[in-house]
Amino acid sequence: DLKFADSIARLGTESAFVVLARAQALAAQGRDIINLGIGQPDFRTPDHIVEAGIKALRDGHHGYTPANGIPALREAVAADLHRRHGAEVNPDNVVVVPGGKPTMFFAVLMFGQPGVEIMYPNPGFPIYESVIKYSGATPVPIALEEKHGFAFSADAVLSQITDKTRLIIINSPANPTGGVTPKVEIDKLVKGLLDHPHVALMSDEIYSQMLYGGREHVSLLNYPGIRDRLIMLDGWSKTYAMTGWRLGYAVWPDSMVDAVTRLCINDHSCVNAATQYAGIAALTGPQDAVHDMVAQFNERRQVIVRELNSLPGVRCADAAGAFYAFPNIEGTGMTSKQAQDRFLEEAGVATVAGTSFGAWGEGYLRFSYANSTDNILEAIRRIRAIL
Ligand code: PLP
């Protein structure tokens, strides 16, 4: 009779992977499946990045690297953050990890324990709530509402701070909503946080290069007043179509670098060496592939928002960032889960129920538009036939 730790039962999951498995099983039976479920670019990693990874293997980079990442990679990250955001970052504050996810896990482990509160966006990336619960901390949702373009409101965040609050997680541009929080709200949040020096902030900026309609990314790195308690997460998965390489990083404040490096040593020792060399090529090489990919996402975004709004019972807010549309489907009479299952089983279209991103996602469905315009149009045609 094995008795597992209670914490294991509290750990959640990311349902997009469950949908992906079901879509693949249906495809294996010969069904024609259009996958608008999974959150990954449908592009290949640019060739010069792939070549750099292969070269690193040929050159004999087969051993451990420093746990926080090879110095040349951390320097490339600092230079990239200066180029993109004008931010001053010391490479010693950059900790490279296998993907975006480890940073959120480590940030939560840094603060989470029974008796403390951690705030997170809802609907939001499901791993935040999962790891907060795992840590034993109390998850405190920040409601993201359609009527505010799924941006967070600084007042809604600040009004929930108590003396038990240890960490606030924000994410803009956001998964699953595509929401982008305007600078005025971020200014207000940071100003308010100055009155609460016991609260740290994790800003998940993994979609920092995917904003549309003339919007510009506002990095929390540009607020000197909170740099000493800011964890800024970004990475390669989305920007360079490198989800399977497993490479991400965060900029950590001085007071946390040592602890997070120990977490890396305990957990994974280091990111595999060849992947890190590919990461240097991504940051220091030409950025044309990124710009082309974002331009294509923007075209598809306009198509999917227009088409979703033409469906009976469906209403879709302008998706400002990332590569997701998050339509309201209440008018169809189906719950999120019913719509997800019917669209997949009957129409062969994979999407993800809004409730996979928190209870407040009921009534919504996430569509990833990381797929061709032809496939998007065909998916909408099939859904229209069902509705
Ligand atoms: N943060 C957000 C908001 C995401 O949507 C994702 C991936 O879907 C990640 C982080 C994690 O990305 P990675 O695959 O690099 O772990």
Residues at CB less than 6 angstroms from ligand 1: 39, 99-101, 125, 171, 175, 204, 206, 235, 237, 243, 248
Torsion of CA 69, 72, 73, 76, to 10 degrees: 150
Residues 101, 125 contacting (CB under 8 angstroms): no
CA distances for 196 relative to 1, 26, 155, 156, angstroms: 47, 51, 14, 15
Distance 101 CA to ligand 1 centre (A): 6
Residues 370, 54 contacting (CB under 8 angstroms): no
Q: Tell me the average pLDDT across 307-318.
A: 95
Distance (Å, whole) CA 43 – CA 49: 13
pTM to 2 decimal places: 0.97
| Low-confidence winner among 33-47, 240-254, 280-294 (lowest mean pLDDT) | 33-47
The per-residue pLDDT for 40 is 87
The residue whose CA is least distant from atom 9 of ligand 1 is 100
User: Would you list the domain boundaries of the chain?
Assistant: 6-44+288-386, 63-284
The per-residue pLDDT for 369 is 95
For the stretch 267-284, pLDDT in tens is: 999 999 999 999 999 999
Distance 326 CA to ligand 1 centre (A): 17
Q: What number does the ligand 1 atom closest to the CA of 101 have?
A: 16
- Tell me, what's the ipTM? 0.99
Q: What is the mean pLDDT of the chain?
A: 96
Confidence of residue 299 (pLDDT cuts 50, 70, 90): very high
Distance 230 CA to ligand 1 centre (A): 18
The per-residue pLDDT for 239 is 96
Distance 206 CA to ligand 1 centre (A): 7
Q: Tell me the average pLDDT across 83-94.
A: 97
The per-residue pLDDT for 268 is 98
Distance 1 CA to ligand 1 centre (A): 36
Nearest CA to 163 out of 199, 131, 128 is that of 199
For the stretch 14-40, pLDDT in tens is: 888 888 899 999 999 999 999 999 888
Task: Name the superfamily (CATH) of residues 6-44+288-386.
Answer: Aspartate Aminotransferase, domain 1 (3.90.1150.10)
Q: Which CATH number fits domain 63-284: 3.40.50.2300, 3.40.50.1820, 3.40.640.10, 3.40.50.720?
A: 3.40.640.10
Q: Do domains 6-44+288-386 and 63-284 have the same CATH topology?
A: no
The per-residue pLDDT for 330 is 97
